[in-house]
Amino acid sequence: MKTTIKTLFILLFLWGNVLSQSLSLGIGTGISIVQGHNYFTNNLGPAGLYSINGTMSEFNGLKFKNEKDFAFNIKYGFKYLPISIVTQIHYMPMRGNQSVNIYNSIFRQNILYDITTKIDIWSLNIGVRYVTEIFKVKPYLAASMLLNYFGDTWLEFENGNDLSMRRDYQNGMRYGLCFGIGLGYSVIKDIDLEISANYDYMNLWNRRGVNQIYEIHPSAEERMNILNIELGVYYNIL
């Protein structure tokens, strides 16, 4: 009986050590590079009405490329396991810009407008990391699920003091996957720096399908894939 109790005590002690945890909060900033040649990266082209990207748009593209990224991160680790659970909230203000001649029916001539295209994306990233540690350096591999809210697509028209904005079309929730690598470094006690590179499949699921009401060249929503490079700082609170 005493041997059984002693064995259980040892097992509980070891299990508690394995599950002893760490909790870190972090912020990060970086760049999101929109990949490929498609509606999201193409030049705006001439103004008109186009059946494109699963909807009707005033332009042929949005001219997104190197976009800003801001992140708030929560990292939950296990002291004696090479696994971390990470939750991240990303804000990506997508902005494209191009000058376009638009015909003005009042003045009966083309007027050059500076056009800014806008989509604000909020992304919830929930995933796991496989982490190793070599002295103070912590390389890792990561995989995550993405829950992305694509804000509506807006167009801003500027000509001198004339500034106007209108919604081009509506968006909504999109779902995807993220795979990445990174490197952490313990700067001082309780403070870690991280640099990461992630490839995000932003809208694998819940994209707009082909809508047959757009009889001329009906199309589905194109995929938005992003290469995200981020620098972050973490504070270890546990």
CATH number of domain containing 164? 2.40.160.20
Q: Is residue 207 part of a domain?
A: yes
pLDDT beyond 80 at 94? yes
DSSP letter (8 states) at residue 38: S
Cα(237)–Cα(200) distance, integer angstroms: 29
Per the domain annotation, does 16 fall within a domain? no
Which pLDDT score is estimated for 9? 46
Q: Distance (Å, rounded) from C-alpha 162 to C-alpha 143?
A: 46
Predicted confidence at residue 18, as pLDDT, reads: 47
Per-residue CA distances from 122 to 74, 147, 221 (Å): 16, 8, 18
Looking at the 3D structure of the chain, how many domains does it have?
A: 1
**What's residue 10's pLDDT?**
46
* Mean pLDDT computed over 1-9: 51
Is residue 12 in a domain?
A: no
pLDDT band at 163 (very low <50, low <70, confident <90, very high): confident
Asked if the structure places residue 7 within a domain, the reply is: no
pLDDT of 54 > 60? The answer is: yes
Is residue 86 within 8 Å of residue 142, measured between CB atoms?
Answer: yes
pLDDT of residue 6: 53
Note whether residue 166 is domain-resident. yes
Q: In the 8-state DSSP scheme, what is residue 7?
A: H
189 is a domain residue: yes
Q: 160: domain range? A: 21-236
Beta strands (DSSP E) in the chain are 21-34, 50-52, 55-57, 66-78, 83-104, 109-131, 137-150, 153-159, 162-169, 173-188, 191-205, 225-236
With a cut of 80, say whether residue 16 has pLDDT above it. no
Average of per-residue pLDDT values in the chain: 89
Residue 17 has pLDDT above 60, yes or no: no
In a domain, 13, yes or no: no
d(CA 101, CA 236): 53
In a domain, 222, yes or no: yes
